[in-house]
Structure formats: structure tokens, C-alpha cells
Amino acid sequence: MTVDMAYQYLFTGALTVLAILIGIILVRSIIGPRITDRILCINMIGTLVICSIAILSQMLKEDYLTDIALIYAMLSFLTVLILASVYIRRKDPKQDVRENLTGGDPEGSPTQKSRDEAKTQAAGESAALSAEDTVVSGLQKGGTHG
């Protein structure tokens, strides 16, 4: 058995596995109860097709297939972005803006939960700063080793 034959078996086996996986994912995308499952399956199929094209590029020793795989990757990414923006509905965007500005309460007053979160975050930042000061002062006292 030569090295070229071993590579041919390896590439053929990898392409077979990828084809089986694409079939399984295709069935999952048909069964998927939610639209997000279907969009995720489309993304996974696109990724496996890109891998298949890359393997074919090496197997057939055709460099232009690598360029096609890169272009397909960009198109697959854009397709998933467009499908996600069309099919995944958000709640009222104005409601999101109001919640961000008022700290989570659409009526305008910050809630107790948001106040507690702000206190916890401030305490964490304070502890991190004091630990940093301790390290810096230790380095200043100890000097440099050389």
C-alpha cells in the first residue's frame, strides 16, 4: 500500500462520514419543532459541506475548490444571518430600549433587583482594585530580582 492509496482511503472515509452526518442533520432539520432548530441545522449542513469541499480539494488536487469553499462559507454565514433576522422574532424593540434605560422597569424606576446587581458589581470592582493595589505595593517593596 502506498501513501497515495492511504490518503485516498482516508479522504473517501471522511467524505462518507460527512455525507452520513449531513443526512442525519437533514432529518433533524425536518423534524425540528422550532425554527431555531432548523436554522441551526442549516448552519451545520453548510459547515459540513465546506469541510467536504475542502477534502475534495485535497483529494482531487484542485486548488480552486479551496476558493469555492471560502466563498461558500461567506454565503452560508450570510444565509444564517438573514434567516435568523427574518424568522426569529423579538419582542417590541422600543420595550427593550425602555428597559435598558430604566434599569429593567418599564415604568421608569429602577427595581430592587437592578439596584442589588449594581451594588454587587461595584463591590466586585472594588475588591479587584484592592487586590491589584496589594500586588503592586508588594512588587514595589520587594524590588526586582536580577
The whole-chain average pLDDT of the chain stands at 79
Q: What is the mean pLDDT of residues 64-78?
A: 94
Both 127 and 58 in one domain: the answer is no
Question: Residue 28: CB partners within 8 Å, gap ≥ 6?
Answer: 37, 41
Both 109 and 72 in one domain: the answer is no
Sequence letter at residue 94: K
- Give the residue among 102, 42, 123 at the shortest CA–CA distance from 78: 42
Both 72 and 22 in one domain: the answer is yes
Helix 64-87 / helix 35-60 crossing angle, nearest 10 deg = 180
Task: For residue 119, give its domain range.
Answer: 98-142
Using 50, 70 and 90 to split pLDDT, how confident is the model at 146?
A: very low
Indicate the pTM of the whole model: 0.59
Both 48 and 112 in one domain: the answer is no
With 90 as the cut, is the pLDDT of residue 91 above it? no
Using 50, 70 and 90 to split pLDDT, how confident is the model at 117?
A: low
Burial 105-114 (b: 16+ CB within 10 A, else e): eeeeeeeeee
Cell numbers linked to 123: 463591590
* Total count of domains within the chain: 2
Both 82 and 105 in one domain: the answer is no
Q: What is the mean pLDDT of residues 111-125?
A: 59
Both 18 and 82 in one domain: the answer is yes
Residue keyed to cell 467536504: 52
Both 11 and 65 in one domain: the answer is yes
Both 60 and 122 in one domain: the answer is no
Both 31 and 79 in one domain: the answer is yes
pLDDT of residue 32: 82
**Which of the 8 DSSP states describes residue 74?**
H
